[in-house]
Amino acid sequence: MEQPSTHLKIKRAGNVSVVEFADRKILEEISIQEIGSELRGLVETEPGPQLLLNFQNVDHLASAALGMLITLQKKVQEQNGLLKLSNINRQIFQVFKITRLNRVFDIHDTAEKAMESFARV
């Protein structure tokens, strides 16, 4: 079930919502707010949401987007769900490491590995 979105491509794979970003650069405050509200909407519609954010198309990520991801992670946890990230490029991953967010988020090299990890829960 595809939902129209300018920023996100959302697919269902079993119980998991797989989200790919349409934008190569997630830098604009307005874009980040729109993405955040779309993702929150996705999380709020079901108990125990399982969400995979696939960053394979993303080259640049503003630090404000990290705040949005932290807020999303809290919301997912409140609903007893799981949030996993995959395909983060080296440059962006460095930011996660510097900010220690690589310890906050469950990050996988590939979407396939992330999907397998949902199955193990």
pLDDT digits (tens, 9 = 90+) for 47-99: 899 999 999 999 999 999 999 999 999 999 999 999 999 999 999 999 999 99
Residue 9 in this model has a pLDDT that exceeds 50: yes
Rounded Cα distance between 83 and 115, Å, is 11
pTM of the model: 0.93
Give residue 67's identity as a one-letter amino acid code: G
13-36: average pLDDT: 95
Question: 78, exposed or middle or buried, with CB in 10 Å at 0-12, 13-18, 19+?
Answer: exposed
pLDDT band, residue 4 (cuts 50/70/90): low
**Domains recognised in the chain with CATH numbers:** 8-119 (3.30.750.24)
- Stated as kind and residue range, the H or E segment containing 73 is helix 63-78
- pLDDT by residue (tens digit) across 99-121? 999 999 999 999 999 999 998 86
Rounded Cα distance between 75 and 55, Å, is 20
